[in-house]
Structure 1
Amino acid sequence: MQHQDEAPRAGRFAVPALACDAHCHVFGPADRFPYAATRRYTPEDKPKEALAALHRRLGFGRAVIVQASCHGTDNRAMVDALLADPPHRRGVAMIDDLTTDAELEAMQAAGVRGIRFNFIKALGEGPDMALVHRCLDRVRPLGWHVVLHVQGDGVAEMAPMIRALEMPVVIDHLGRVDPALGVEGPAFRVLLDLLRDERIWVKLSGIERMARAPFAEALPFARALMRAAPRRVLWGTDFPHPNLATPVDEAVLLDLVAEFAPLPEERQGLLVDNPAALYGFAP
């Protein structure tokens, strides 16, 4: 029997078949997958069942589950969620020098296709760059990419390193630029310039972290990135929105897609074709 909160949503557009939530998380349950002792926040449990219920409600058939910093480099909760639906799920891990080759091989088999590094000051000091490069050297032969969570000026600061990487790079959440500076702001101009490189992708997620509802001030940035690299943009809910002060309805965030991708073919690329190309989903 289908629960009421799992019924298909009625939104501003029909979500394409096999649409992918390309940025979402699972948290716990802590009694099975404990949070890291070094975490900067302790979330409410949101296990794989909660994520699956959200995707049923929104009509999403695929997902990319991103390891959250509260779990550190213990990727078991993320991998467990991948194994619940292998054809339709991919993952992004967090690793360090203690991650074994056997663990990397197991994650590859489970559907992990990238690693992520946080450079957000609120989540602690950024990782040691020597460690970053050691980790990239280990996963490059697997064909994985790297996801970078940077904020504002961090985009410009890291631009030389990003350009030098010999692998695909995905920049989270529109680069977390300051909307008050507008699309002509220096950090955003660097982000647009980076997208001239065919290896570099960007997620049009995290709008709720840039602006408050109704989120209008974030939309020009999403539109500009859509124009700059229509085949290298991704979208995700960021469920369950860790460290967000104000609750947000993911259906409202999904409706915003119609604001910066008004054409059906644009939404097909953003929600289906682009994530399928990067993450190797079956046609």
Structure 2
Amino acid sequence: MRMDGEQESSNVEDVRGMGSGGGFGFGGRSIGLGSVAVAVIAGWIFGINPLTLLGLMGDGGAPAQQSVPQGSAPPRDDPQARFVSQVLHSTEQVWSDVFRSAGQTYPAPKLVLFRDSWPTACGRGQAAMGPFYCPGDSKVYIDLSFYDVLQRKLGAPGEFAQAYVIAHEVGHHVQHVLGVMEKVDAARSRASERQANALSVRVELQADCFAGVWAARSQQRQGWRLEPGDIESALNAAAQIGDDTLQRKSQGTVVPESFTHGSSEQRVEWFKRGVEGGSIERCNTFERGAL
């Protein structure tokens, strides 16, 4: 994937040089995630909001807003930060076009580059959670060291796989703007654990499909080009964090009713559907019989 010379987003906040404070407590004890096994870390990757999945938001209500210091623009000599900023800008262009065609305005999210941990409107984010989106403040959070995990531990190298990560999280923002996430959260609060997990799967697969829509439309709009192996690297990233793959690696067995993100095959299928269709209408994972 080549994005040399592409415009960068002004919606990136770099807080990596700022103090992150201590860890958050849960039930009177702190949670140390730095040494969690890779398979468990990957289990939280690409979640609606890892804190919700961990049960730290109780009945689904957002925690009270807190005063969080504002970051600055990332340094110009940081190639990784520049790359994610270019990817974010391309998502802004794509989704602005989609919303404009529907007579609406797209409110772009902020992307926060943090290190180790950082306070968010959804609780304290941790690097071990992987990238995540917080609907409480409409921000995507990422510790760029995650890309090392993606390449070395999850077997998904390449810039397009890295771009897919950002596009997926922005997909959750699109769901938030459209009201999808709020409806699902309300439904999950009334559902059994199995039903709630099934709803989470549909949310995740739709974000995968939205990432595919971005890939298809961004190429056409901006003229950046896919290189040999790009799509395969993104599909591999999707496959590596499928619930079945993670469960098989971590516990040796697969329990479909516990899935919250979808199987590897499903994640690949819905990403490809977005790429091939290039249309948000192709991404209705909530339609009866869609899965």
TM above 0.5, yes or no, is no
Bigger RCO (CA 8 Å, 6+ sep) = 2
Q: TM-score scaled by structure 1?
A: 0.28
Bigger helix share: 2
Q: TM-score scaled by structure 2?
A: 0.28
